[in-house]
Structure 1
Amino acid sequence: MDENRPDVGWRNTARGGTDEPRLTLVHDVLRYAQGASQVDPELDGYLNYHWLTSPADLGHRKIMLESGINASEWVHARDGVRRPVIAIRSSPWKAGHESNPWHDEFDLDHGHVRYFGDHKPTTVGFPGATRGNRWLLEAAQLHAGTSPEERVLAPPLLLFRSTTIHRAGRAVVKGHVEFCGAAIIERLEHVIQRDPDSGRSFPNIALDLAVVSGGSVDGMDMRWIDDRRDPTLTAQQTLRHSPDAWQRWVRQGRVAIPGIRRRVLSSPVKSAPQQQPVPGTVEAETLHTLYTFYDDRKHAFELLASRVASEVLRESGVRYKEGWLSRSSGDGGVDFIARIDMGSLSASTPVVVLGQAKCIKPSSSISPEQVARVVARLKRGWIGVYVTTGSFSKQAQIEIIDDQYPVVLIPGAVLAETVRRMAQANHGGDVEALLQTTVDGYSDSVAHRRPEEVLSI
């Protein structure tokens, strides 16, 4: 008996039929076996991936997930040629290996995925030299289309993530994938990455993907993909089983994305365990390393906190400029000063950022009084950032929310995850090498200046 075997029968009752909905929900675990039948809806108690994506009676070839990026064949329909779908598979357990030396980021609750292409340290040529990257570059042009006629041809990106299940008390790493939704390419950029083993730099592409809302079912009907593979249907006709959110994007384009992105409503107040890495994970080990490293050199932690704040805020799309660290005595609740520029390059406004850093035991929490010290220093239009290895007490969070204070709270879990990503990008995954740079660079980062002066740098 599988400990996490799902109940899948209630919504896929048709045994291989194509006239009934074939629904799959976000976070569904699917059984992916390369040679599995396309006839049976279930396999080993899980939804059968091959039946779900390519039922036998339609006569389509399987959409395989052997690579990270997998495109279906071109369809020559009566209104033109289209690529029906691109299936993306991310394998977290391979991250950091030669075959996958980068880390994809999935934030499904906020409808965002950061996905890296398939260029590798050993690949010769530019990022489009690999088949997978060529498919993504080709798709990105349609996803950036300025007319509904272009966007209707854009292949949806179906996102899957390899997952571990437990059977008879044993962890099974391979053979199962989690469905993570359908996505739009929101942005594509060329990046330089570093191989953690050889230290060599190599070019690649990185995509910001917007996971679209699946509506009330929080999923999608795979008949949409059937239609996109049907040459007798026009591209416009293939929208009949697509999510409403996708149809809205086809009509309106980029302006629709904020309103169609998948969102999961949850309480903004998080418990202490929710703010800390899961015990036994790499992130938990990273946080322990952080606390141990800075336990007798707390001042250097301020420089790390400044860099982490920079990384976290830049993820929101703002331009962040690091300033300086305040002197260790008499800082008045401010450890670092920075600036963000809101708006475009041609039309923007600068905002002062005041930061506080506290390296405490991960089991400890920050009180409302400690957060209030930062709030008291904020002037109109400024924002605060509080970075800690611990957690924020429930009351501290409530006061921030109820009084609508502009303070970004970065607890231990976010800190550890961000530090791991920074170390992977710039130090070959060596966290301690990253931390040592904050010790070496601390003295040069300290200045005795008024916060307002950051607006002129």
Structure 2
Amino acid sequence: MSESVFFADLQMADLVLDRVYQGGSKGNMGDDPIGKLLPVGNQGGFRYKGSVEKQDVRLVVLYTSGEETDWPDQLDPTTGDFTYYGDNRKPGRGLHETQRKGNLLLRDIFDWSRGDANDRAAVPPLLLFQKSSGRDVVFRGLLAPGSPRLESDEELVAVWRTTRDLRFQNYRAHFTMLNTPAVTRSWIDQILAGDPLGGACPPEWRAWVKSRSYRALEAPRTIAIRTKEEQLPLAADRWILETIYEHFSHDPIQFEHFAASIWARFDSNVEAVEVTRPSRDGGRDALGTYRLGPLTDPVRLQFALEAKCYGLDTGVGVKMISRLISRLKHREFGVFVTTSFISQQAYTEIREDQHPVVFITGRDIVESMKRRGIGRRDALEAFLGTEFPIERSVVEAALQDGLTVREPAAKA
């Protein structure tokens, strides 16, 4: 369990990566630990010191509960990539007309981040906190806007959402977690005094301001085998997977098309998918190509996909995974998509024997749907009812963004 800081000690505490900061016990807004750690207020996802309109914000806190289905903020600890959604989350307002001015702040920050060193010096340091339990929060780290993995026009994107048939826009912003293990109280004091590049400034932030160099906090996982709990969605999202299972449980052929579309959207390098004929799939429900390297001179790998629509409590065992492996050809890799989970024995054997098989399990499917903005029951039911069942491959619709799709072979 992570070390924690008592509420009474917050005002003088340094911010240490993944440390818990305890909330108060009076039962009111004054129990918020962020407001006591930093002079940024005690409410909202965007909290800052200064004025957005005057463009003199000196320090920004981004707070995420990690619990909003429609707006799935997500930190990938292995790469340091963090996705955060803006604060225009209801219809009836313009993109930048929010009460907390969070989207306006995002617009300015990303504009400055793409300029020269003088422009980036105007970007306030961004600190990420996440809900722990009760009023407690966890400090997740220091963020820099943008990512070396993305094109500049992908870093801040206005996305459309629909609620009760009303359309509106919100921002999806991409940040990079910097390799800064602690934000000291000395640097916080310098930031608030208007000297963010003072002597206590972390070298990672200084490097980003001076040259837009991202020294990302990349933390490869020490455990390559996910547990059953890690493969299945959290309790609040379980209904999404149950709804998908109920829709496809009596029609496994349609689930193959759904699984292919999930895999295609999961990775932009999936170039082509062909769902095979049900009577002659040979243990491979879909075939396709995966693109590596530059677009002007790519290398293409072949893959075979198998899909199983199982109940959430029915794991995929060794026999089923072995079936896919036995049918992989030379230089092919496998993709196994299931609404359930891979049993511990099967998962362990695959990883220890280093078989090239990608597992997409229940939680991965749920996260994919949420990233597509399908996180409400009415939206999910409308999507499934409209796209499935189908006569032609739904993969064609899933791969519109420059991907090639071949039609399934004609029935014999």
Do both proteins adopt the same fold according to a TM-score greater than 0.5, normalized to the shorter chain?
yes
Match of 2:385 in 1: 436
* Structure 1 residue 88 corresponds to structure 2 residue 62: yes
Matched ranges for 1:199-348 at <5 A: 199-215=165-181, 219-231=182-194, 233=195, 235-237=196-198, 240-242=200-202, 244-250=203-209, 253-254=212-213, 256-257=214-215, 260-263=216-219, 265-278=221-234, 281-313=235-267, 318-348=268-298
Tell me the alpha carbon deviations over residues 23-63 of structure 1, each in whole angstroms, 9 at most, x when there is no partner: 34425244279874xxxxxx6xxx9433322xxxxxxxx21
* 2:315–2:341 contact (8 Å) kept in structure 1: yes
* 2:4–2:21 contact (8 Å) kept in structure 1: no
* 2:2–2:18 contact (8 Å) kept in structure 1: no
**3-state secondary structure, aligned to 2:123:** coil
Counterpart residue type for residue 223 of structure 1: S
* 1:199–1:428 contact (8 Å) kept in structure 2: no
**Displacement, 1:302?**
0.9
**3-state secondary structure, aligned to 2:237:** helix
Distance 1:423 1:225 in 2: 36
Distance 2:180 2:220 in 1: 11
* 2:58–2:124 contact (8 Å) kept in structure 1: yes
* 2:259–2:337 contact (8 Å) kept in structure 1: yes
Counterpart residue type for residue 410 of structure 1: I
Match of 1:170 in 2: none
**3-state secondary structure, aligned to 2:389:** helix
Gaps of 5+ in 2: 148-154, 397-402, 407-412
* 1:367–1:392 contact (8 Å) kept in structure 2: yes
Distance 1:27 1:14 in 2: 13
* Structure 1 residue 136 corresponds to structure 2 residue 106: yes
**Displacement, 1:416?**
2.9
Distance 1:402 1:422 in 2: 33
* 2:316–2:343 contact (8 Å) kept in structure 1: yes
Counterpart residue type for residue 31 of structure 1: G
Distance 1:88 1:30 in 2: 17
Counterpart residue type for residue 246 of structure 1: W
| Shift in CA distance, 350/398, structure 1 to aligned 2, threshold 3 Å | same
| Shift in CA distance, 294/14, structure 1 to aligned 2, threshold 3 Å | closer
**Displacement, 1:295?**
2.1
* 2:261–2:394 contact (8 Å) kept in structure 1: no
**Displacement, 1:73?**
1.7
**Displacement, 1:351?**
3.6
Match of 2:160 in 1: 193
Distance 2:318 2:115 in 1: 48
Distance 1:379 1:247 in 2: 50
| Shift in CA distance, 35/446, structure 1 to aligned 2, threshold 3 Å | closer
Match of 2:410 in 1: none
Matched residue count: 387
| Shift in CA distance, 27/15, structure 1 to aligned 2, threshold 3 Å | closer
How well do the aligned residues superpose, as a CA RMSD in angstroms? Answer: 3.7
Gaps of 5+ in 1: 37-42, 54-61, 76-80, 166-174, 448-453
Distance 1:303 1:194 in 2: 25
Match of 2:367 in 1: 417
Distance 1:444 1:49 in 2: 49
Distance 1:5 1:182 in 2: 18
* Structure 1 residue 49 corresponds to structure 2 residue 9: no
The correspondence for 2:81, drawn from 112, 137, 143, is 112
Identical-pair percentage: 22
